[in-house]
Amino acid sequence: MKTTNLIAGFISLFVLISIIGFFGWSSYSDNTNPQIYSNDSYTDSLSVDYVFPFKNTSVTVSVSIPASTYYGAISVESKRIPYMKWDNYTYYSDFTNDPLQESIYTDILAQLISVKQTLNLMDDEYVELLSTFVQNISYYHQSEFRYPVETIVEKRGDCDDKSILLAGLLTRAGYDAVLLIFDTENHATVGIRTNDATAYPNTGGYAIIETTNYNYVTDKSIEFENNLTLSSIPTVISVGTGVKTYTSGSKITVILEYKDTCSALIDQLAQTCINNSETVNEMEDTLTDYECRLSSLETLMNTSSYAEYLANDYYAQYEALYTEYKAYHAEYLLSYVNHDDVIDEHNRYICIYNLIIAEPYNREYVYQKVLFASQR
C-alpha cells in the first residue's frame, strides 16, 4: 500500500499551506475526481496476453486496450488527487470506476464468463477465477496510484493496484465487493460479502481476498515481514453495487485448519523420523556385532580340534547366540518397518500441505483431497 513518511507529511502540510495562501480556499477544497484524460495522440491499440492456472487447466485472456486510455492514465494530470479526498479514501473508487476503463472491464469479463460456462463453474468458483486472474499479475511496489488499465498493460502492481482491479471486476460481475484499507499494516485487500464466520471482524460482513499472490478467498492469515499479520480494523471503501455473496468459506476453513494440522504433524513426524533412524542404525550396529560373533564361532568350530570343540561346546554357544540373533533381528525388522511407515506418513502430510499452499486456484479439488486425507 502507498505510504508517506513523517517528513513527507510535513512537506505536504507546507505545500497545502502554500496552496491555500497563494490560490485561496477554493483550490484546496476542489472536489474534482481523479480521472483519466485521454491522450488522443495515440490512435492504436495495445494487446496484452495473460495465461494463468485455474483448477486443473490453464486459462488464456487476451486484452485489447486503447493506447489513448493507457497513455492518458499514466500522465501526471490523471493522477491528481484533491486534498479533500485524502482522508476519506474516495479516490479509490475514482481509480476503480473511471469510465474510460469500462471497455477493458467488459473485454476481460466477456472472456472469463466464457471460461465459467466452459468449465461449468458455480458462482463461488467464478469469484475464484477472477481472483486468480488478478493474483497471477506480478507484485511490484511503487509509490503512486495506478489505474486498472495501467496494471493490465504493465502486468504488475502492488496491493492497492491489484485490489482496485479485482474490486472493479467483481462488482461488474454482480458481486458485493469492497476495498479494505489497513492503515496500521499499510496494506490493501478486496472484501467479498459473506454470511459466515469467515468475514473479517468489524467490516460489516466482508471476507478478505488477498491479491498480491495466489491465496484462498477468505484466508486472512497473511504474513508480512517480521511475522506480522492483519489485526487492525480496516476502512471499508465501496466501489460498486453488486449483491452476490461468497458462500464457500466453510470449505476453506476446513482446508486451512488441515494445513495447520499438517504443519504441526510434519514437524512432529520429522523428529520421530530422526529418532527412529538413530534407533535403526544402532540396531544395525548390534546386528553386525552378532554376525561377527557368530562368524567367529563358526571359524572356531571349523578349525579347532575335536577335543577343544567338545570342551568348549562351541555348537551350544553358536545355537544360543543364533537364537538371540534371530530374536533381535525380528525386533529390528519391526523397527525398520515402523520407521518406513512413519516416513511414508511424513511424506503424505508434506504432499497434502504442499498441495494446499500451491493450489488455492483449485479449491474444490484441494478440499476433496483434504477430506480424503483427514479420514485415513
Interval 146-192: pLDDT, tens: 999 999 999 999 999 999 999 999 999 999 999 999 999 999 999 99
Q: Is there a single domain that holds both residue 95 and residue 199?
A: yes
DSSP type of residue 57: E
* Residue range 44-94, pLDDT digits in tens: 999 999 999 999 999 999 999 999 999 999 998 888 877 666 666 888 999
181 Cα distance to chain centroid: 19
Q: Is there a single domain that holds both residue 228 and residue 304?
A: no
Q: Is there a single domain that holds both residue 234 and residue 283?
A: no
- pLDDT value, residue 301: 87
Q: Is there a single domain that holds both residue 328 and residue 270?
A: yes
**Kind and range of the H or E element at 143?**
none
Q: Is there a single domain that holds both residue 199 and residue 257?
A: no
- List the one residue out of 162, 191, 153, 187 whose CA is nearest residue 175: 191
The span from the CA of 276 to the CA of 270, in Å, is 10
Q: Is there a single domain that holds both residue 163 and residue 223?
A: yes
The span from the CA of 69 to the CA of 152, in Å, is 12
- pLDDT value, residue 5: 42
Q: Is there a single domain that holds both residue 105 and residue 231?
A: yes
Cell 507529511 belongs to which residue?
A: 9
Give the end of a domain, one of 188, 216, 247.
247
- pLDDT value, residue 308: 84
Q: Is there a single domain that holds both residue 232 and residue 263?
A: no
Q: Is there a single domain that holds both residue 263 and residue 183?
A: no
- List the one residue out of 75, 71, 49, 53 whose CA is nearest residue 62: 49
The span from the CA of 76 to the CA of 37, in Å, is 10
pTM here is 0.85
Give the end of a domain, one of 200, 221, 247.
247
| Cβ-based neighbour number of residue 291 at 10 Å | 12
Dmax over Cα atoms in the chain, in whole Å?
Answer: 124
252 Cα distance to chain centroid: 13
Number of H helices, E strands in the chain: 12, 8
Q: Is there a single domain that holds both residue 346 and residue 242?
A: no
Looking at the chain, how many residues does it have? 376
Number of domains in the chain: 3
The span from the CA of 243 to the CA of 192, in Å, is 10
Q: Is there a single domain that holds both residue 187 and residue 282?
A: no
Question: Tens place of pLDDT for every residue, the chain, 376 residues?
Answer: 765 444 444 444 444 444 444 334 343 445 577 899 999 999 999 999 999 999 999 999 999 999 999 999 999 888 887 766 666 688 899 999 999 999 999 999 999 999 999 999 999 999 999 999 999 999 998 888 899 999 999 999 999 999 999 999 999 999 999 999 999 999 999 999 999 999 999 999 999 999 999 999 999 988 877 778 899 999 999 999 999 999 999 999 999 999 999 999 999 999 999 999 999 999 999 999 999 999 999 998 888 888 887 788 888 999 999 999 999 999 999 999 999 999 999 999 999 999 999 999 999 999 999 999 998 7
- pLDDT value, residue 21: 44
SS (H, E, C) 222-266: CECHHHCECCCCCEEEECCCCCECECCHHHHHHHHHHHHHHHHHH
Residue 188 phi/psi, 5-degree rounding, is -130, 140
Q: What is the CA radius of gyration of the chain?
A: 33
Q: Where in the sequence is the domain holding 166, given as residue range(s)?
A: 32-247
Q: Is there a single domain that holds both residue 220 and residue 207?
A: yes
Three-class SS state of 54: strand
The span from the CA of 42 to the CA of 108, in Å, is 22
Give the end of a domain, one of 221, 247, 273.
247
- List the one residue out of 224, 213, 223, 253 whose CA is nearest residue 358: 213
Strand partners, 182: 187
- pLDDT value, residue 81: 77
